[in-house]
A and B are shown apart, each in its own frame.
Chain A
């Protein structure tokens, strides 16, 4: 099956610093990648949809200047949390849609990144 990697898996940073999370599709090309955030005991919340070579589409309530997304290639998308604060502490998950997965648009998920802002 298709594999998506995410790096780092865990990060602890000080308030005010920026953190970059990478999402890579390892064995397929993903023209579309998604970034989710999940707080404890809650469901996945879509933050933005990232299309290769174009600007990301952000969901309502998600600050695009705070959560910078870059999808420079068909296998890599990055999410940068700028000037992170304790309330940004969460589990961030990326997924990639394999356009050639057949007759449905399955999303393959990365393992997630646990961000803790002190």
Chain B
């Protein structure tokens, strides 16, 4: 079966750095997405990785290792507004998005 695992909840301090991990087992791989979702809102796109390595975009970076079936989202200089759920999703061989359950990130002052 297809499976995506990510921690249920994480807590971090404002101004700090946090890394959210995601491991996946899917039928085929056509890329991995990270989305941010605030409560009661739709997901918003953060990043896309299809090749191994690190993609940096401002305070957010995303890493992929296809051989390990592993990705992480790195958030730097955390702000209170970063409190949200972070969803990892993999595009499988049928170009269908397989979603993780999301990681709720709580930022404390």
Task: Using CB atoms and an 8 Å cutoff, list the residues of chain A in contact with chain B.
Answer: 6, 34, 42-46, 49, 91, 93, 103-112, 114
Contact = CB atoms under 8 A, between A and B. Distances in A.
A103 B42 CA distance: 24
Given A104-B48, A104-B50, A106-B48, A43 B42 contact: no
Task: Classify the interface of chain B: helix, strand, loop or mixed.
Answer: loop
Given A43-B87, A44-B87, A111 B96 contact: no
Nearest to A2: B45
A104 B50 CA distance: 9
Contacts of A109: 42-44
A114 B41 CA distance: 10
B41 A105 contact: no
A6 B42 CA distance: 11
A23 to B, nearest CB: 11
Nearest to B43: A109
Nearest to A94: B42
B42 A46 contact: no
Interface in B76-109: 87, 91, 95-97, 99-102
B95 A111 contact: no
A42 B87 CA distance: 11
B70 to A, nearest CB: 19
Nearest to A1: B45
A93 B44 CA distance: 12
Given A43-B87, A43-B101, A105-B31, 15 more contacts: A6-B42, A44-B43, A44-B87, A104-B31, A104-B48, A104-B50, A104-B91, A106-B45, A106-B48, A108-B45, A109-B42, A110-B42, A112-B41, A112-B42, A114-B40
